[in-house]
């Protein structure tokens, strides 16, 4: 809860975040935030991941190298010169409403963990959209996965809050 309060103080709003469940072989996260934007505008900004993803949570230290291709088998990728990384693969696209990806972000990938990620953009009224981000991770780690859930949750909260903050400008 302390992390959530700190994150809220950094932004003009606060995302609702929760580790839905966690165990030794996986965890589920859900983060949602309301923004003063249409689903179309929110989705369009989401696709410009290089503008809102935190550079500290990239492999090459610069979010400007990130991109998301909004098509089945599209890539959530990062490039820096000759260095390249596939973060996730797009598996479902309903433009302006929902996008799903599979893969392990950051160190989860090297650990051989697998995740399913969903981003939804729900129209609440003419000027408000609820963005919901879910990430379900599963796999094996000799140390278990339960302790990773709050760490991954805090990193994902940073990303969701950054996207929402950009939509408020």
List pLDDT tens digits, range 124-167: 999 999 999 999 999 999 999 999 999 999 999 999 999 999 99
Sheet strands (E) in the chain: 16-23, 26-35, 66-68, 75-80, 83-94, 98-102, 114-125, 128-138
* Structure confidence at residue 168 (pLDDT): 84
Contacts (Cβ under 8 Å, ≥6 apart) of 7: 14, 15, 154, 157, 158, 161
Q: Where are the domains of the chain?
A: 19-168
* Structure confidence at residue 18 (pLDDT): 85
pLDDT in tens, 50-90: 999 999 999 999 999 999 999 999 999 999 999 999 999 99
Choose which CATH entry (3.40.50.620, 2.40.50.1020, 3.40.640.10, 3.30.530.20) describes domain 19-168. 3.30.530.20
Has residue 12 got a pLDDT over 90? Answer: no
Cα–Cα distance, 152 to 148 (Å, whole number): 6
- Note whether 42 and 123 are within 8 A (CB): no
pLDDT in tens, 146-156: 999 999 999 99
Q: Is 52 helix (H, G, I), strand (E, B) or coil?
A: coil
Q: Write out the two tokens for 42.
A: 């929110």
Bridge partner residues of 94 (DSSP): 98
Cα–Cα distance, 18 to 48 (Å, whole number): 25
């Amino acid at each position: 809860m302390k992390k959530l309060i700190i994150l809220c103080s950094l932004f003009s709003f606060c995302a609702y975040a929760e580790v839905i469940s966690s165990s030794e072989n996986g965890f589920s996260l859900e983060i949602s935030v309301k923004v003063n934007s249409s689903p179309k505008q929110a989705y369009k900004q989401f696709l410009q991941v290089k503008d809102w993803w935190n550079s500290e949570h990239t492999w090459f230290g610069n979010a400007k190298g990130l991109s998301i291709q909004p098509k089945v088998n599209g890539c959530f990728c990062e490039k820096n010169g000759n260095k390249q990384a596939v973060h996730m693969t797009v598996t479902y696209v309903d433009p302006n409403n929902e996008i799903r990806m599979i893969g392990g972000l950051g160190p989860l990938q090297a650990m051989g963990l697998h995740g399913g990620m969903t981003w939804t953009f729900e129209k609440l009224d003419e000027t408000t959209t609820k963005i919901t981000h879910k990430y379900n991770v599963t796999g094996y780690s000799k140390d278990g996965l339960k302790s990773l859930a709050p760490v991954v949750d805090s990193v994902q909260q940073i990303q969701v809050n950054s996207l929402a903050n950009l939509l408020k400008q």
